[in-house]
A and B are shown apart, each in its own frame.
Chain A
Amino acid sequence: MVEAYLPKDLDECLKILNEKKVKIIAGGTDMLIQNRSHTGMSIGYRNDVLYINNLNELKNIYEDDAFVYIGAALSLEKIMESDIAPKLLKETILEMASPAIRHTATLAGNIGNASPAGDSLVSLYLMDAELEIRSINNTRRVFLKDFIKGVRKITLESDELITKVIIPKLMFEKAYFKKVGPRLSDAISKLSFAGAYQIYNNKITDIRIAFGAVNVTVVRDRLLEKKMIGKTIEELKGMIDLLTSWYDPLIVPIDDQRSNKVYRKEVAINLLREFIENLI
């Protein structure tokens, strides 16, 4: 039978990670479904498992001048209720799953799952989120974009745990997340988009564009964004066809039954168009 480890605190948790080969479970909303055995009863985990959702040290949220720090085991609903979580993140979470799932699922779990359709990833990439990762002897900090390497591929050593999601405090004129899917909730997104910008003296000083579920991982291109900085809103609107042609080759949805590639690509480009057309 698969062993289940139930550490009392973070120290014990890191010790177990150091000594045993285990798979981490936070809320379990991905893990239970993905490992469901159709014969009924027990879940078909391939490895021993380590439960982290009872660790209070991973359930806090706090800020300093530059960042908001979100504990790995804090539920999505608690993040949404917090006064200090970034507005864009809260709006994104509201579009994820249902209240029942949000009460147990975590942000670190959405990251650990590394699905191309992971909704929070789109907004987190847009905000240049980082992770704090710990093992028994080491604490490191890494950008989310460098942590996720592909579909379900992350750079986490077997003795490591994500302990915090760290988000820079940013000022945007406007920022939004949009998800195109069949139902209000519970739709693993067909496609998602996040856009944000800042202007000063009628010139763009910061502009960020990210797409989810249109490639193996979130699409965000900083070089293309740089080319838009310094332009006026009117100039950007005037070059909208050129802008969409820049992004076109980056949007290569992996095909599955949920939606066909052509449809996804069309919707993605339309979301970009809408974002630029609505700049004010």
Chain B
Amino acid sequence: MAKIKFKLNDKFVELDTDPNRRLLDVLRDDFNLTGPKEGCGEGECGACAVLMDQKIINSCCTPLANVIDKEIITIEGFSKTKKFEVIKDAYAKTGGVQCGFCTPGMIIATESLLNKNPHPTDFEIKIGLSGNLCRCTGYNLIIEAVKEAAKAGDGLW
């Protein structure tokens, strides 16, 4: 057991728990944040993705110990921002959402990519989303969604 402090969705949080726990379990079980989901549980699908210091990570392969003093934003926290609105509208407009299972992770990946690179090429978008699996859309619509978000949100990132 150890005292673990970090920032979660804009609030400082502190908990006394086992640092070996996966960030995914802590978010879901201790904070009731169910946006990040367990898909594969082994880093391959991106369903558990969150932002750590504005960059995408997989919460299923991140130990809580590695989150100390970092800033974590889940889809719940991100959905309160202007950038989220732009990305969400872009996905809706291009048809980048079908069943929706992958969508929170895709949105996190999109935000992480645009933070680093506000005007990505198709190739850069493919790399940016390469850790997120989608069983429905065949990716092309999602690539269009990212391009649309970059255009509609020009100046935001």
Contact = CB atoms under 8 A, between A and B. Distances in A.
A71 B90 CA distance: 40
B65 A51 contact: yes
B118 interface: no
A186 B129 CA distance: 12
B80 to A, nearest CB: 22
Given A42-B18, A43-B20, A51-B65, A99 B44 contact: no
Contacts of A28: 61-63, 66
B125 to A, nearest CB: 11
B76 interface: no
Contact of B42 (A2, A33, A54): A33
Contact of B131 (A27, A32, A98): A98
Interface string B63-94: 10110110000000000000000000000000
B57 A103 contact: yes
A128 to B, nearest CB: 29
A99 B131 contact: yes
B97 interface: no
Contact of A32 (B19, B22, B49, B128): B22
A51 B56 contact: no
What DSSP secondary structure best describes chain B's contact surface?
mixed
B151 interface: no
Q: Chain A interface: which size bin?
A: 20 to 34
Contacts of A185: 127, 130-131
Contacts of B58: 100-101
Nearest to A186: B44
Q: Chain B interface: which size bin?
A: 35 or more
Contacts of B25: 41
A36 B127 contact: no
Interface in A84-137: 94, 97-101, 103-104
B43 interface: yes
B126 interface: yes
B131 A97 contact: yes
Nearest to A35: B20
Given A6-B68, A184-B130, A101 B43 contact: yes
What DSSP secondary structure best describes chain A's contact surface?
loop
B46 A36 contact: no
B41 interface: yes
Contacts of B113: 99
A160 interface: no
Given A6-B2, A33-B43, A184-B127, A103 B65 contact: no
28 contacts: A6-B2, A28-B63, A36-B41, A36-B42, A41-B25, A42-B18, A43-B20, A43-B21, A43-B63, A45-B20, A54-B66, A54-B68, A98-B46, A98-B130, A99-B56, A99-B112, A100-B49, A100-B56, A100-B58, A100-B109, A100-B131, A101-B43, A103-B56, A104-B61, A104-B66, A183-B130, A184-B127, A186-B130
Interface of B: 2, 18-22, 25, 41-44, 46, 49, 52, 55-58, 60-63, 65-66, 68-69, 109, 112-113, 126-128, 130-132
Interface of A: 1-2, 4, 6, 25, 27-29, 31-33, 36, 41-43, 45, 49, 51, 53-54, 77, 94, 97-101, 103-104, 183-186
